[in-house]
């Protein structure tokens, strides 16, 4: 889907939302909706997230949306806003640090936890005291569903018959989803479960020897700045591609990565919020995996491995 189509779709959606709002509340006075966006850091990816979120949340004749951004002293800043008469109708948390701070709040404001991994939400947020109240919390995860990764691999690299996957402490939970995808897509999966004391580079070396590609599943104990180099070198040694999960990975030397950009996550978060605003109870929907994603290819690796990817170039599916 190219950028023009993407913009066209966004415009259609906004027109639809506008018409919906107009038709549903023809005689109502304009609502003021206060949104507090809490960024875990004030660095480039979070700024991109914020910028795209602002672009998605547009005021109309029925509603005036005001966005307040916080990126430090989170609890205190929210208290200060309340003290000055600004009570947030919704909070959007961008990132893990913001999420961990916000669940300490004593308010009942609905929060969308975005730009964070599903495991982080499910392990630390979902069952927190704050989120136990029904429909108070929701999330937009950062990682891609396993099914999508297999679908793209199957489509992009149809000759791949075996896929090596290393699972560590954080990612071991993915095992059943992976085994289901293995059956569904007919790709032979070889899983190495990393235990304490295992060196991920050695596991990658052993898997690279017997697999036709290595799929990286996010796990900080397996893939980090210290190990990524050695793991990539192992895959080059056996001339097999590594499929990554971030722009950083593809830049470093993965054949391609499937990931969602902060902008794509922000757009979806904005849509989720608008959906909640439109709903009569202002209820949040269930957590979602990203709808939009990017498949970014490293052309140098593609040439080197002579991989034939059934995409002409990097793609975005919005």
Partner 1 sequence: MHKQASCLYALTGLIAVLTGTPQLQATELSEDDFLQDLPVVLSATRLVQDKRDAPVATTVIDREMIDASGFTEIADLLRYVPGFVVNYDSGHVQAASYHMLNNNLARRMQVLVDGRSVYIPSLLGVQWISLGISIEDIERIEVIRGPNAASYGSNSLLGVISIITRHASQDKGVMAKINAGENNLAEGFLRLGGGSENLDVKVTAAYRQDAGFVERYDSYQVRKLNARADYQADLNDRLTFYATFNDAKVQEDNVFSRDIPNHPANILSRTFQMDWTRSLSANEDLKFQYYRQCYGKQNRYQHAGTPLFIDQGRHSERDDFEFQHTLSPLDNLNMVWGAGLRTDQVFSEYYLGRTPARTNRSYRLFGSLAWNITASTLLNAGVMLEKYQITTGTELSPMLSLNHYLTNTDTIRVSASTAIRSPGLIEEYTDVRVGGNTIAYDAGKLAPERILAYEVGYLGRFPHYRASLDLKLYHEYIRNLISLAAADAAGNLPYHFANQDNAETQGLEATFSFKPNHKLRLEFSYAHAHIQASDVRNTTQYTNSSPNDSFSLQIIQRFIQGYQGSLNVFYHSEMKQLATEDMRSANTRINLRIGKTFKLAGNKTDVSFTVQNLLNEFETTRLKNVARRRIYLSLKLEFR
Binding site for partner 1 (CB under 8 A): 40, 45, 95-97, 115-117, 119-120, 123-124, 142-143, 159, 168-171, 194-202, 205, 209-210, 218-221, 223-230, 232-234, 236-237, 239, 245-246, 248-249, 251-253, 259, 262, 298-301, 303-306, 308
Q: Alpha-carbon distance 174 to 44, whole Å?
A: 30
Q: Alpha-carbon distance 110 to 113, whole Å?
A: 10
Classify strands 256-259 and 242-244 as parallel, antiparallel or unpaired: parallel
- Over the Cα atoms of the chain, what is R_g? 21
Output the smallest distance, CB 70 to partner 1, in A: 17
Nearer to partner 1, 34 or 294 (CB): 294
Output the smallest distance, CB 232 to partner 1, in A: 4
Judge whether 299 and 241 are in contact, CB under 8 Å. Answer: no
244 Cβ contact partners less than 8 Å away, ≥ 6 residues apart: 216, 250, 252, 254, 256, 257, 258, 259
Nearer to partner 1, 152 or 201 (CB): 201
* Nearest alpha carbon to residue 273 among 84, 112, 40: 112
Output the smallest distance, CB 119 to partner 1, in A: 5
Nearer to partner 1, 6 or 124 (CB): 124
Output the smallest distance, CB 180 to partner 1, in A: 21
Nearer to partner 1, 67 or 202 (CB): 202
Read off the DSSP letter of residue 272: H
Nearer to partner 1, 65 or 301 (CB): 301
Q: Alpha-carbon distance 14 to 271, whole Å?
A: 10
Output the smallest distance, CB 95 to partner 1, in A: 5
């Amino acid at each position: 889907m190219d950028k023009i189509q993407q913009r066209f779709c966004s415009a259609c959606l906004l027109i639809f939302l506008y018409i919906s709002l107009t038709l549903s509340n023809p005689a109502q006075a304009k609502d003021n909706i206060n949104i507090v966006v809490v960024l875990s850091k004030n660095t480039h990816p979070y700024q991109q997230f914020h910028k795209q979120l602002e672009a998605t949340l547009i005021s109309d004749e029925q509603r005036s949306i005001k966005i307040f951004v916080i990126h430090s002293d989170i609890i205190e800043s929210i208290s200060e806003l309340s003290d000055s008469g600004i009570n947030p109708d919704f909070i959007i948390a961008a990132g893990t640090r913001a999420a961990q701070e916000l669940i300490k709040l004593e308010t009942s404001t609905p929060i969308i936890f975005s730009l964070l991994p599903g495991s982080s939400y499910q392990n630390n947020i979902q069952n927190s005291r704050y989120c136990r109240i029904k429909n108070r919390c929701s999330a937009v995860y950062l990682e891609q569903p396993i099914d999508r990764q297999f679908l793209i691999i199957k489509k992009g690299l149809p000759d791949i018959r075996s896929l090596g996957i290393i699972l560590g402490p954080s990612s071991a939970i993915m095992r059943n989803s992976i085994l289901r995808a293995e059956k569904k897509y007919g790709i032979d999966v070889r899983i190495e479960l990393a235990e304490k004391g295992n060196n991920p580079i050695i596991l990658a070396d052993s898997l690279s020897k017997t697999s036709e590609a290595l799929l990286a599943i996010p796990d900080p104990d397996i893939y980090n700045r210290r190990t990524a180099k050695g793991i990539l070198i192992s895959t080059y040694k056996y001339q097999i591609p590594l499929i990554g999960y971030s722009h950083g990975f593809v830049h470093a030397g993965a054949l391609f990565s499937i990931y969602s950009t902060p902008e794509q996550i922000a757009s979806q978060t904005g849509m989720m919020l608008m959906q909640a605003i439109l709903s009569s109870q202002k209820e949040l929907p269930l957590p979602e995996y990203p709808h939009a994603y990017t498949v970014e290819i490293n052309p140098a690796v593609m040439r080197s491995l002579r991989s034939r990817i059934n995409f002409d170039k990097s793609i975005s599916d919005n």
